[in-house]
Chains A and B, each alone.
Chain A
Amino acid sequence: MTLLRRDRRGRISAALVALGVAVGVLLVLWLLAAPTALRAREDRAAWRVGGEPGPLAVSATRDEFRGRMIERFDVAAEHPGEVAVAQGIPRLPGPGEVLFSPALADLVRTTPSAELGDRFPGVVVGMIGDQALRFPDELVVVVGHPPGVVDGSGVRDLLGSRVPVDGSAGMLWLLTRIGLVVLVVPCLVLVASVGRLTAARRERRLTALRLAGATPVQAAVVVAVEIAAGAVIGSLLGGALAWPSSGLVARIPWGGGTWFPGDFTSDPLVAAAVQVCAPVLVVGAAVLGHWRVVTRPPGVAVLRRVRGRRLLIGLAAFVLFSAGVVVAREVGGPRRFEVVLAGVGGVALALVFTGPLVTSLVGRLFVGCWRGPATLLAGRRLVGDPVAAFRGSAGVVVAVFTASMALTMMPTLEGQVRFDDGTWSPDAIVAHGVTDPSRVDALRAATDAPVLPLTYGLLAAGGRSQPALVGRCEDVTRVLTGLSCAPGPAVYLPQPLDGPLRITSRQAAARTELPSDVEVRPYPGGSYAVVDPELAPALAARPTSVAVLTTPGDREVLHTALVRAFPGVALEDGETADVLGSTVLDDLRRAVLLGLAFAVLLGGSGAAVSAVGSVVDRRRAFGALLATGTPLRLLRAALRREVVLPVVTATLAACAAGTGVGLGLLSITPGIPHHSGTPMTPWILAPVAAGSLVALVAATACGLALRGVTPTTDYQD
C-alpha cells in the first residue's frame, strides 16, 4: 500500500488512534467486568442465605467493631448427620468451636478479648477461606452452639442456594447497568473521534486519489487500512493492559471492602469480542465519515448540512425510554429493566446525534450577530461543518447527561439509606428478640452496668396501633430519647389513640387490656409508646428486649457481653446502624463519583483529541492567517468559542434529558416508594457549568496545538 501515509503527522495520527482505542477498550472491559465481579462476590457468599432445608439452626446477624462490620453466623446442629458446607468453610464448627475469616482472626488476636474476642466463645478450629468471603478483608465468623441454643429462623445447611445468584433485582445491579450504558456511549464517542482525527487532511488526500483515478472502493480501502493499523494495535494494547490493571480496579472499595483481583477478569469470549469490535467500529466510523468524499465525483465540493430530522431520533429515544419505564413497572422478572436500559443508551446516543443540529443553530446565531473576527470564525466553522465541530463536544455532553441523571437520583437514593434515627440514646445498646429471660440474669451477673429488660408489643385502640415498650418510665427514659416522666404509672403515647387501650406481644405470647382510667401522657416525637409494667404485668414478666447503658470506656466490653449473653440475637446500636448506612452511602457516592470521573475523563479526552484534530486539519489556513499578522490569541479565542459555546447549549439540553431520565429511573428503582418526592435544587445545573469548564480545558489543547503552527511553513504545506 504505497498510498498510505508514512510522514510524521501520519504516525502521530496513528499513535493517537491507538491510544484512544486502547483507553476505550480498557474502560469497556473494566465496565463489563464490574457486574461479573459483583456476581462472583455474591456467589462466594451464597452460603450465608438460606438454601435447601437442612439440619442446621442458623442465626445470621450483623455486628460492628470500631466502624467495621462483622457478619456473624451462630449455628447449631438440630439433627444428627453430616452437614454439607460451602467451599471455603473447612467444616461445620461444633458446640464451642469457632471459624474466623483471616481478617477477623487478626483483629481478635490484636484486641483485648473483653472488647471483641469474648463475643465468639470457643476454640478456633479453622479459617474461612477466600472461596467463602465476599472480599479479602471481610470480617466473618461462624460460631458453633449446642442444639437448642440458637434462635434461628429456620433450619438449613451451610451451602446456600445451588442456583447461581440472580443479582438482577437490586438497586446495585440497576446502577451498575446504568453506569455501563452511560459510560459505553462516551467510550464509543472517543473511539469514533480518534477514527475521524485529521479527517479534513485525509479528505483532501482521498479527493486527490479519486482525481488520480482511484475507485470509491479503493479509496475506502485506503481509509480502512490507514485507520486499522492504529486501531488494531490500540485494541490489543487495551486488552493486554486489562488483566494487569484489574488489580488497580480491585482496590476500589464496594460494600465495605475491596475485591479479589480475579473478580475483575473479563470473560475471555467477551474480551475477545470487545477487542474485535473496537477496531471494526473505528474503521467503520472512519469509512462512513469519509463516505461522501469516497463516493462523490472527484473534485465536487459538498457543503455539509445537518437536517432537522435528527430531532426525530431524540424523540424516538425518549419514547423508547418511556416505554421501558412502563414495561419495568408493569412487567416483572429479571429482564424487566432491559428496555429501559436500552432507552437510557438511546437517549445518550440521541444527544450525540442531535448535538450537531444544536451546534449549527448556535453557529447561525454567531454568524447573525458577530462583531469581531473571533466570533465570525467560530460561527462560520459551526455552521460550515457542525458535525465536525460537535464531534469533540459529544463526550462532554454525555458526561453532563450522566451527571444530571446522577444528581437527580442521588438525594432520593441517599434518603433511602438508613442511619441511626435517634430513637435510642447514643449510649444505649439494645438486644431484640430475647427468648430466654434467664439470660438477662446471666448478663446482669457479667456486668455492673445498668441492664434494662423491656417487652416489645403493639399498643392498639380504635383500630389503630403503634409499637410499644413495657418498662418503667424512669428506666426507659435513660435509653429512649425525648421521654419526660411524671410520677405514677402511665402510658406515654407518641400519637394519640382513642378508645380502650390493649397491648399485645407476640414474642412474649401475652395480651393485656389496660385499665380504662389509665393515665395517658404525650410522648412527642417518640418512636415507641411506653407502658408502665404495673399496667401490663404479664408482659413485663416476659422481657423480649434488653437495653444496656454504656460509657465510652466500657462500650465494646458491654457490646461483647451482650453478644455473648444472647448469641444469634440482633443488636440495635446507633453505631452499627451508622456503619451500615455509611457503607451504603459511601458506595453510592463512590459509584457516582467514579462514573462521573470516567465520563469526564472520556468526554474531556474526546474533546481534546477532536480539538487538536481540528487544528491539525486547518494548519494551512491557520498558518496563512498567522503569516498575514493574525494574532495567535485571536485564533485561540475563536477555537475556544468553537468548542465551548456549542457545549454550553448542548449541555443545557443534556441536563434536561438527564433530569428526565433520572426521574424515570427513580420511579422504577427497587426500594424507592413511588410516592416519594424528589428534591430538586439549583445544583442540578452544576454539570452544565462543569461540562463547560471541561470543554474549556479541552479547548486549551487547541492552544497547545496552535503553538506548533508556523506561518513560514504551514501555509505552504
Chain B
Amino acid sequence: MDPVLSGRGLAKRYGGTPALDGVDIDIGEGEVLAVVGPSGSGKTSLLHVLSGIVPADGGEVFLDRAPLGGLSEAGRGRLRRTAFGFVFQSGMLVDELTAEENAALPMLLGGAPRGLALRTARECLGRLGLSGLEARRPAALSGGQAQRVAIARALVHRPRVVFADEPTGALDTRTGYEVMSALLEAARDTGAAVVVVTHDRTIADRAHRVVGLQDGRSG
C-alpha cells in the first residue's frame, strides 16, 4: 500500500535542543497510526512537522509522494486547510461560534458557500450524535461534546489525514473512549488516515500501528 503521508530523515531543533533527530515514518491510506512516547520525546514536534505547522530543519515530508519542503508558509497553510484536519487536546473551538459554525469553519475557509458548509457540518454533527446541539456554543457543551464538535471540524472537509494531539487528554476514561471511537469511526467513513499523538496506552492499542518515540528518534 502506498503511503499517503511520509517523513524521511525528519529533524527539528528548538534553540539548541533537538526535538526530532532523523525520524522516518509512513502513514497509509485510511490507516490509524499512534505516536507514543514519554513527555519531551518529540511526539508533538513530529505532528507539527508532518502537518506543515512548522517546516522541518532536515529531511522531507511527502504527501502522496509529493515533497512539501518547497512550500511557502501560505502554501503550507493552504495544505492544512484542505488536506489535513486537526483535533486538539481541549477542543480549541472558537468560543463565540456555535457548534455547527465551528464544524463548518474549514469548509468556509476553503471558500465553500455558507449554505453548503452549514448543511455538511450539521450532517457531520448528526453522525457524531450531536443532533439538536448545533446552535450551542462551546461553553454550553460538555467536554466530550466539544471534542466531538472538534472531530466534526477536523473531518467536515474530507481531509486526507487527521492529526489528533492528545484528543482525550482532557476527558475522563469513559468519555475519552467514546470520543476516540467517534473519531475512528468518522475517519473510517471518510477514508482519512489518522495520526494520533498520545501517551495513553489504551488509545494507542486501538490504532492499526504504533510508533514509539524516544529523544526525537523512532523506536
Contact = CB atoms under 8 A, between A and B. Distances in A.
A668 B74 CA distance: 61
A631 B77 CA distance: 7
Counting from the closest, the 7 A-B pairs by CB-CB distance are A629-B80, A629-B81, A624-B92, A301-B139, A380-B96, A384-B96, A373-B108
Given A384-B137, A624-B86, 11 more contacts: A370-B114, A372-B108, A380-B94, A380-B96, A624-B88, A624-B92, A625-B105, A627-B53, A628-B153, A629-B82, A716-B165
A216 B1 CA distance: 60
Contacts of B44: 716
A256 B47 CA distance: 71
Identify the interface centre among A383, A624, A628, A631: most chain B CB within 10 Å of its CB.
A628
B94 A625 contact: yes
A549 interface: no
A326 interface: no
Given A301-B140, A303-B137, A621 B92 contact: yes
Contact of B94 (A372, A383, A385, A621): A621
Interface in B97-122: 97-98, 101, 105-106, 108-109, 114
Nearest to A622: B94
Contacts of B81: 628-630
A620 interface: yes
Name the interface size band of chain B: 35 or more
B80 A371 contact: no
Contacts of B54: 712
A381 B137 contact: no
12 contacts: A371-B114, A377-B94, A380-B101, A384-B95, A618-B95, A621-B92, A621-B94, A626-B77, A627-B51, A628-B153, A629-B106, A631-B77
B48 interface: yes
Contacts of A629: 76-82, 84, 106, 109
A373 B96 contact: no
**SS of B interface (majority):** helix
A715 B94 contact: no
Contacts of A627: 51, 53, 80, 86, 88
Nearest to B114: A371
B108 A628 contact: no
Contacts of B80: 627-629
A570 interface: no
Contact of B96 (A377, A715, A716): A377
A621 B97 CA distance: 11
Contacts of A628: 80-81, 84-86, 105-106, 153
A426 interface: no
A376 B97 contact: yes
Contacts of B96: 377, 380-381, 383-385
Contacts of A623: 92
Given A303-B137, A711-B53, A630 B88 contact: no
Interface in B119-151: 137, 139-140
A679 to B, nearest CB: 45
A703 to B, nearest CB: 16
B214 interface: no
